[in-house]
């Protein structure tokens, strides 16, 4: 899926936007995933994913780089179960 975005030119969202980036086609991207959060719990991460899907952006970018394999598997299952085609998966 990431190859679909090779032509996209990203720019940061304005302050107080509910997304992180936009592209030249005015599609919005909201990102989640920060493995530097050492005390995070898996159920909190999964709940955050669910919340991100309700924000009305064109794409939700989920970066699982650096997370334990069992967390990546759990997130992949949650993303699959959502049935959403607008989830961009990185590091799964």
Residues 6+ apart with CB under 8 A from 23: 5, 8, 9, 10, 11, 29
Decide if 86 contacts 4 (C-beta within 8 A): no
Q: Where are the domains of the chain?
A: 10-90
Confidence at residue 6, expressed as pLDDT on a 0 to 100 scale: 78
Residue 3 predicted with pLDDT over 80: no
Upper half-sphere CA count for residue 11 (Cβ side, 13 Å): 7
Predicted confidence (pLDDT) per residue in 30-79, tens digit: 999 776 665 678 998 999 999 999 999 999 999 998 888 999 999 999 99
Phi, psi of 28 (to 5 degrees): -105, 145
Note the pTM of the prediction, 2 decimals.
0.85
Paired tokens of 14: 């304005």
- pLDDT number for residue 7: 86
User: Residues 89, 64: contact at Cβ < 8 Å?
Assistant: yes
């Amino acid at each position: 899926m990431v190859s679909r975005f090779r032509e996209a030119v990203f720019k940061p969202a304005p302050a107080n936007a509910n997304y992180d980036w936009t592209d030249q086609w005015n599609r919005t991207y909201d990102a989640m995933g920060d493995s530097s959060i050492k005390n995070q719990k898996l159920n909190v991460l999964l709940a955050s994913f669910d919340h991100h899907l309700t924000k009305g952006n064109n794409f939700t970018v989920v970066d699982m780089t650096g997370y334990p394999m069992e967390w990546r598997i759990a997130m992949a299952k949650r993303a699959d179960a959502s049935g959403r085609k607008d989830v961009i998966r990185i590091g799964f």
